[in-house]
């Protein structure tokens, strides 16, 4: 794969926006900061792919990749972590611009047909906000969001990006303007990014014409492939990963899906492919009416689904679809807080695991931005559905938080395109030094063994309050729970959100 983890530090754009420039003063982080020097960290306890280990000396090279992971070591001159060290969490599904209206759709509005609020009525409100977001707004919103993610334990993000054009639906002078805004935001914040430009062409199954309020999303297949070619060097330059996201089966006709995936594969052979699928029961019913098959059933029969693919949500599947999708090697992209917010339903994770499936978590619409919160809600949803406890523990890892963290890191790395078949993700030689240190002095963690500290972080604290430090590719991004750009990025976000809200008439 053109795994763009082996990065240079070049800027993703030939000229920076005024927003990005505001972060380049001596008091902030430069958007085009040089590569990190080699470094080290001594962890009294660290969660490795095989489980917890004591006295672990971690060393990484100048590219930010772990060169040594040595349990049973003396600290030597390495700085000591303030508590147990766990792998950073990949966020495998994000629509950055939606962070700007989190909390603003939580009211009941009369529906024209008298129906109850649903995903579909929420989507209509979301379109109003999408229509008003400029490249400058998007960069400010995404920068703050990515700072939030880092402070919440995420070290990389898969950006499922479909806001391509201007408000009239016309391409910007630079057709990649919105994508470049996201790349700049990721580099400013210091988060790893997998950029997934979205192919969106129709408003429903059977090639129904797009709606007027979808005009900013629409691209021909040729236009999408040209965009990918334009973006490839910029993504590579900042150590990112480039993939593509056919939005959904209802938004991409079969021929377009086939040609787009073939074109992506020719450009970047192992590039990740993400798709929304089977999120809503109406989507399932409409797919059956169109094709005689359910969404996942149709996809498995008509697309080359394999370990490159991430099936986002996949909430409503039959046992045969669970088995077939797991057998394909695809990752299930689960977004518990958004799925709860939108009333989607519950993914049957024990069934998926029994079929050998891999999974990861994403914050999606960003009603919540908190890696541990996603894990907690995912486990609690399974408990409510099954009326059992500790559902996602395993024989190898009876502590639920340990088992879930290892599984979500492995699946998230695969979905991010930062994983090679047969390699273990997380704190392992050859992987990026994406690390999170918990605070052993936090009241919820004091005096506990390391696996119980992680459990207390996920189930017994405020879920970010015990997160002390975070590194991406060996570079410290969060210290004592706070990112260096917290205040400045927050202020820029508030200004962008207020402008967007005012324009949207909310």
Burial class (CB in 10 A: 0-12, 13-18, 19+), 206: exposed
Residues 197, 162: Cα–Cα separation, whole Å:
6
Interhelix angle 371-386/400-415, nearest 10 degrees: 120
The rounded Cα 153 to chain-centroid distance in angstroms is: 12
- Taking Cα atoms as reference points, which of 387, 305, 320 lies closest to residue 351? 320
Tokens of 498: 């207020």
Q: Residue 70's CB: how many other CB atoms inside 10 A?
A: 14
Q: What is the DSSP letter of 214?
A: G
Residues 211, 223: Cα–Cα separation, whole Å:
19
Using left for φ > 0, alpha for ψ between -120 and 50, and beta otherwise, residue 314 falls in left
Q: What is the DSSP letter of 208?
A: B
Residues paired with 159 in a beta bridge: 94, 195
- Is 313 annotated as catalytic? yes
Interhelix angle 450-459/371-386, nearest 10 degrees: 80
Q: What is the DSSP letter of 212?
A: G
* Catalytic residue chosen out of the listed positions 286, 344, 364, 434: 364
Tokens of 301: 């029969």
CA triplet 73, 77, 78: central angle to 5 degrees? 70
* Catalytic residue chosen out of the listed positions 313, 316, 457, 468: 313
Q: How far is CA 93 from CA 85, 179, 193, 473, in A?
A: 24, 16, 11, 20
Residues 217, 131: Cα–Cα separation, whole Å:
10
Give backbone dihedrals phi and psi of 228, rounded to 5 degrees, phi first: -60, -40
Q: What is the DSSP letter of 201?
A: -
Residues paired with 331 in a beta bridge: 310, 358
Catalytic residue list: 313, 364
């Amino acid at each position: 794969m053109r795994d763009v983890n082996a990065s240079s530090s070049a800027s993703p754009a030939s000229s920076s926006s005024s927003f990005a420039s505001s972060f380049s003063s001596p008091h902030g982080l430069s958007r085009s900061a040089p590569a990190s020097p080699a470094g080290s960290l001594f962890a009294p306890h660290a969660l490795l792919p095989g489980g917890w280990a004591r006295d672990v000396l971690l060393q990484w090279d100048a590219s930010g990749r772990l060169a040594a992971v040595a349990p049973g070591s003396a600290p030597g001159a390495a700085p000591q972590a303030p508590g147990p060290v766990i792998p950073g969490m990949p966020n495998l599904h994000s629509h950055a611009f939606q962070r700007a209206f989190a909390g603003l759709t939580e009211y009941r509005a009369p529906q024209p047909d008298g129906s109850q609020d649903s995903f579909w009525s929420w989507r209509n409100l979301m379109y109003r906000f999408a229509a008003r977001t400029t490249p400058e707004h998007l960069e400010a919103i995404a920068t703050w969001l990515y700072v939030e993610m880092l402070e919440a334990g995420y070290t990389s993000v898969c950006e499922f990006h479909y806001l391509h054009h201007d408000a009239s639906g016309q391409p910007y002078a630079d057709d990649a303007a919105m994508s470049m805004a996201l790349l700049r935001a990721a580099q400013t914040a210091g988060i790893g990014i997998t950029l997934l430009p979205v192919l969106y062409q129709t408003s429903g199954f059977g090639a129904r014409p797009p709606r007027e309020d979808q005009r900013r999303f629409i691209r021909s297949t040729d236009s999408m492939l040209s965009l990918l070619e334009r973006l490839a060097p910029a993504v590579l330059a900042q150590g990112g990963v480039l993939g593509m996201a056919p939005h959904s089966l209802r938004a991409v006709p079969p021929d377009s899906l086939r040609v787009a995936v073939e074109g992506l594969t020719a450009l970047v052979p192992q590039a990740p492919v993400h798709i929304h699928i089977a999120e809503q029961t109406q989507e399932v019913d409409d797919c059956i009416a169109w094709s005689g098959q359910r969404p996942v059933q149709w996809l498995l029969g008509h697309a080359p689904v394999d370990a490159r693919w991430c099936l986002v949500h996949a909430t409503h599947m039959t046992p045969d679809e669970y088995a077939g999708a797991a057998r394909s090697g695809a990752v299930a992209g689960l977004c518990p807080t958004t799925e709860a917010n939108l009333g989607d339903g519950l993914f049957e994770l024990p069934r998926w695991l029994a079929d050998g499936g891999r999974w990861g978590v994403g914050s999606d619409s960003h009603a919540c931005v908190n890696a541990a919160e996603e894990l907690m809600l995912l486990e609690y949803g399974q408990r409510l559905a099954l009326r059992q406890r500790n559902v996602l523990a395993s024989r190898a890892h009876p502590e639920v938080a340990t088992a879930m963290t290892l599984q979500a890191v492995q699946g998230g790395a695969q979905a991010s395109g930062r994983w090679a078949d047969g390699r273990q993700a997380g704190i392992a030689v050859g992987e990026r030094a994406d690390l999170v240190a918990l605070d052993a002095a936090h009241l919820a963690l004091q005096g506990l063994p390391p696996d119980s500290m992680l459990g207390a972080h996920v189930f017994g604290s405020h879920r970010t309050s015990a997160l002390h430090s975070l590194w991406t590719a060996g570079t410290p991004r969060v210290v004592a729970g706070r990112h260096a750009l917290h205040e400045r990025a927050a202020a820029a976000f508030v200004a962008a959100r207020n402008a967007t809200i005012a324009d949207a008439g909310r």
